[in-house]
Amino acid sequence: MKKNLLFIFVLLCTFSATYAVKPKKQIVNTKEVGLATINRNMAEAHINFLAGDNLKGREAGTSFGRIAGDYIISMLKQWDIAPLFETYEQPFSAYRRERQHNKDRFEVNLDSIAKLKEIPHQRINLRNIFGMIEGNNPNEYVIVGAHYDHVGMDTRLEGDQIYNGADDNASGVSAALQLARAFKLSGQKPERTIIFAFWDGEEEGLLGSKYFTLYWEGMNKVKSYMNFDMIGRNNKEDRPMHFVYFYTQAYPAFEQWLRSDIENYHLQLEPDYRAWDNPVGGSDNGSFAKKDVPIIWYHTDGHPDYHMPSDEPFRLNWNKLVEITKAAYLATWRLANENSY
């Protein structure tokens, strides 16, 4: 009898183990894993460093601009984000006539530079910085960009002499850095390779993005460009969540994505949608639009502290900055993974 009971017990255990209801494996939404990493603390850390007085306004071609670039590289290395080239840097030089003609713009076009070298001229040494998350498709790129230079300082000013550039454009750099980290932590390889670009010399005439779009051999593989330039301020205090959403008019999906993401993710944003048939002005987006690359540009509109020493971190609307960064992450996810748009 005991043997029969033992046999039945073993049989029941075997049956239970075979047919018992097993808990379902939890499905992780990798997109939302990355989204959850975007936060105010990270934004504040980046902006307080880049727009702090110690960096003296990050003027292009100065040691302080180089420190800002070194900071960006250190973040990319810390997150194990690969460089686009052998290193994270793309060095280049810009030239213009001597200072009696300093209303002339700096040039990065090699033909123009050859002529300038024949006369008295100025030269500044600059560098763009790039990180990359490789995608499954090696023939298509999405680029996310922000310029990291500002206008430096003026020792002839009385009082505050430093143009900190918290909104212009430490705010944009913080967003691009947060996106790079978010995509890395999501754990999912995108379909298209994502390049995170940090431009030098924008304040001197879009120099970094001009040089890149003129001479990088992969430009014909660029599917889209997203730009951050000034995403942290209020144009009007009674509209704290207002921002301008520029996009290439021929791509209405870009507007539909934002409308959908605001609703589905409950983003606290009030965008002014501005379709632009040929978005060649304003910022580094212009360098890409001239190459017929579709663009998205986040911008919170003008304010009295633009290019003034008063553009400091304490004036930023941190909540809006973070919400824009989240919206941009969701849009970049689509740019990098949608079959077509």
Domain span at 207: 28-91+125-337
> Is 14 domain-assigned?
no
> Is 32 domain-assigned?
yes
> Is 202 domain-assigned?
yes
The pLDDT assigned to 1 comes to: 42
> Is 12 domain-assigned?
no
> Is 72 domain-assigned?
yes
Query: What is the number of structural domains in the chain?
Result: 1
> Is 104 domain-assigned?
no
The pLDDT assigned to 28 comes to: 62
Instruction: Give the 3-state DSSP-derived string for the chain, with helices as H, strands as E and coil as C.
Output: CHHHHHHHHHHHHHHHHHHCCCCCCCCCCHHHHHHCCCCHHHHHHHHHHHCCHHHCCCECCCHHHHHHHHHHHHHHHHCCCEECCCCCEEEEEEEEECHHHCCCCCECCHHHHHHHCCCCEEEEEEEEEEEEECCCEEEEEEEEEEECCECCECCCCCCCCECCCHHHHHHHHHHHHHHHHHHHHHCCCCCEEEEEEEECCHHHCCHHHHHHHHHCCCHHHEEEEEEECCCCCCCCCCCCCEEEEEEECCCCHHHHHHHHHHHHCCCCCEEEEEEECCCCCCCCHHHHHCCCCCEEEEECCCCCCCCCCCCCHHHCCHHHHHHHHHHHHHHHHHHHHCCCC
User: CATH number of the domain that 140 lies in?
Assistant: 3.40.630.10
pTM value? Answer: 0.91
> Is 18 domain-assigned?
no
User: What are the pLDDT tens digits along the chain (341 aa)?
Assistant: 434 433 333 333 333 333 333 334 444 689 999 999 999 999 999 999 999 999 999 999 999 999 999 999 999 999 999 999 999 999 999 999 998 876 789 999 999 999 999 999 999 999 999 999 999 998 999 999 999 999 999 999 999 999 999 999 999 999 999 999 999 999 999 999 999 999 999 999 999 999 999 999 999 999 999 999 999 999 999 999 999 999 999 999 999 999 999 999 999 999 999 999 999 989 999 999 999 999 999 999 999 999 999 999 999 999 999 999 999 999 999 999 999 99
The pLDDT assigned to 5 comes to: 34
> Is 109 domain-assigned?
no
